Amino acid sequence: MPTSELHIVILAAGKGTRMRSSLPKVMHEVAGTPLLGHVLDTAISLQPAAIHVVVGHGREQITERFSHASINWVEQTEQLGTGHAVQQALPGVPDDADVLVLYGDVPLISVATLTPLIEACDSFPLALLTASLTNPSGLGRITRDDSNEVTGIVEHKDASAAQLAINEINTGFLCAHAKALRGWLDKIDNNNAQGEYYLTDIVAAAHAAGEPIAAHQPQNNDEIIGINSRQQLSEVERLYQTHQANHLMASGVTLIDPARIDVRGSVSAGQDSIIDVNCVFVGDVKIGSNVQIGPNCVIRDSEIGDHCIIHPNTVIEQAVLGQRVNAGPFARLRPGTELEDEVRIGNFVETKNAKFAKGSKANHLTYVGDASVGEKTNIGAGVITCNYDGANKHQTTIGENVFVGSDCQLVAPVVIGDGATIGAGSTITSDVAPGQLAISRSRQREIDGWQRPVKPAPRDK
């Protein structure tokens, strides 16, 4: 483990002109999370002493979005280059710390890749993350001497023919001793075509001072992809989703088409579960073993037990499902829904803040909200729990082995006792005792001689 205190500096001040957007570049999303959010998650996982985020364009939007995080916000009022950006953060960093520099628009960088870079600073004042590419065109090349020691970085436009043949490139990621970094940054200038202070220039400054420089490479070159356009954003989105799909399949899950799944959070799933196409998982989702999830489902912050079947086009949000639950198609399980084992929620059924005990069912065209349903109770088609009086929500309690006929309204607060039966078409406004039949509807009658209305005959023109 590193012996020095670690401070992380994340550069997030750029406008991102090529995104053609009023939204700051680092606020564009991959897998439903802003680019900067991914980088912050990685930074937090490294357990640093402090995280400094350098912002400029769109500062208010960025700081508001991440106001919950423990971050030292540093404003770069003028975008004068990456070296200048790091300088703005250094006043908040002690001399005896190590500084890790990350980028708010490079979301795939991993803890596994950054850890050796940080550890290298125990022995080297400067450690770089480099990468070997088959096509390094346009990127800064790493130069080395006859002893294979890093001597500097040469930009593509300034490289000689021999240097252009180098396939080791600079990724921008580095870790350095804070005191040394301060000194190197003080020595660089903006004598270049862009008139900016480049962080990469510290490499030559360190070499000129006789300092040894370490170099490490990422576990996967996909980790270093930066985002500067909508096209690159879509490419990184697909890389991220491919990684998530591979993780699920490695854990024993069958994906009918790995290219058609979106994970916007974290998903864990047991062995032999099957996920069909176009499913979206948001937040923290836990799926048991031998679960079948049909196409076009959206599941958010929910738990699904073993042997459940989720039929197509079902939406589940902040719900907990026991084992062998059957839901959908076209069901909507809203927050606060708890379904015990062997519950059946059918097509076009909506639940909210509702608890269904073992073996109960609502097979179609029903709304159950702010309610508890006992074991082996059957709720017919078109039943509504009328839980809202225009100002307050009220509870409906339905006991065990209750049969609620079709097209009933249960006006809360109301209690239906165990074993009761509610006749179809009833509006129930009072409690029903256990075992009783409750009917609330007008008596059917027939009217002799009644004629159905007809349209008048058209007039002659």
Which of the residues 52, 177, 207, 364 is marked catalytic? 364
Domain ranges for the chain: 6-224, 230-438
Helix axis angle for 178-187 and 82-89, nearest 10°, is 140
**Per the omega criterion (within 30 degrees of 0), is the bond before 413 cis?**
yes
Tokens of 201: 């220039």
335-358, pLDDT tens digit by residue?
Answer: 999 999 999 999 999 999 999 999
Instruction: In whole angstroms, give the CA distance from residue 130 to residue 169.
Output: 6
pLDDT digits (tens, 9 = 90+) for 415-442: 999 999 999 999 999 999 999 999 998 8
| 239 contacts 259 by C-beta, under 8 angstroms | no
Compute the residue count for the chain: 461
CATH code assigned to 6-224: 3.90.550.10
Residues 6+ apart with CB under 8 A from 29: 35
Report CA torsion sign: 151, 156, 157, 162: positive
Cβ–Cβ under 8 Å, residues 108 and 225: yes
The answer to whether 129 touches 171, Cβ cutoff 8 Å, is yes
The CA distance from 257 to 277, in Å, is: 6
Cα 202 to chain centroid, rounded:
36
Burial of 314 (0-12, 13-18, 19+ CB in 10 A): buried
Phi and psi at residue 206, to the nearest 5°:
-65, -45
For residue 191, the model assigns a pLDDT of 80
Q: Are 274 and 293 in contact (CB under 8 A)?
A: yes
Contact between residue 218 and residue 129 where contact means Cβ atoms under 8 Å apart: yes
User: For residue 409, which phi and psi values (nearest 5 degrees)?
Assistant: -120, 125
User: Encoding tokens for residue 355?
Assistant: 């608890």
Long-range contacts of 68-72 (CB under 8 A, 24+ apart): 69/40, 69/44, 71/40
What pLDDT is attached to residue 442?
85
Q: Is-catalytic flag, 207?
A: no
Distances (CA, A) of 94 to 1, 6, 49, 121, 140: 19, 10, 11, 15, 30
Token readout for 16 is: 């991102």
pTM of the model: 0.88
Q: Is 77 exposed, middle or buried (0-12, 13-18, 19+ CB in 10 A)?
A: exposed
**Closest to 86 (Cα-Cα) out of 12, 27, 3, 148:** 12
Given its phi and psi angles, is residue 376 left (phi above 0), alpha (psi -120 to 50 degrees) or beta? left
Mean pLDDT by 10-residue block, N- to C-terminus, for the chain (461 residues)? Answer: 83 89 94 97 97 94 93 91 94 96 97 96 95 92 92 87 94 96 91 82 92 94 95 96 97 97 96 98 98 98 98 98 98 98 98 98 98 98 96 97 98 98 97 97 88 85 65
CATH assignment of 230-438, among 1.10.3720.10, 2.40.30.30, 2.160.10.10, 2.170.120.40: 2.160.10.10
pLDDT at 298: 98
CB count within 10 Å of CB 9 equals 28
Dig out the tokens for 102 from the structure. Answer: 């990350």
CA separation for the pair 140, 160 (Å, rounded): 12
150-154 vs 141-144, strand pairing mode: antiparallel
User: Nearest 5°: phi and psi at 304?
Assistant: -125, 120
Print burial letters for 138-164: b (CB count within 10 Å at least 16), e (below 16).
ebbbbbeeeeeebbbbbbeeebeeeee
Give, rounded to a whole angstrom, the gap between the first and last alpha carbons of the chain: 98
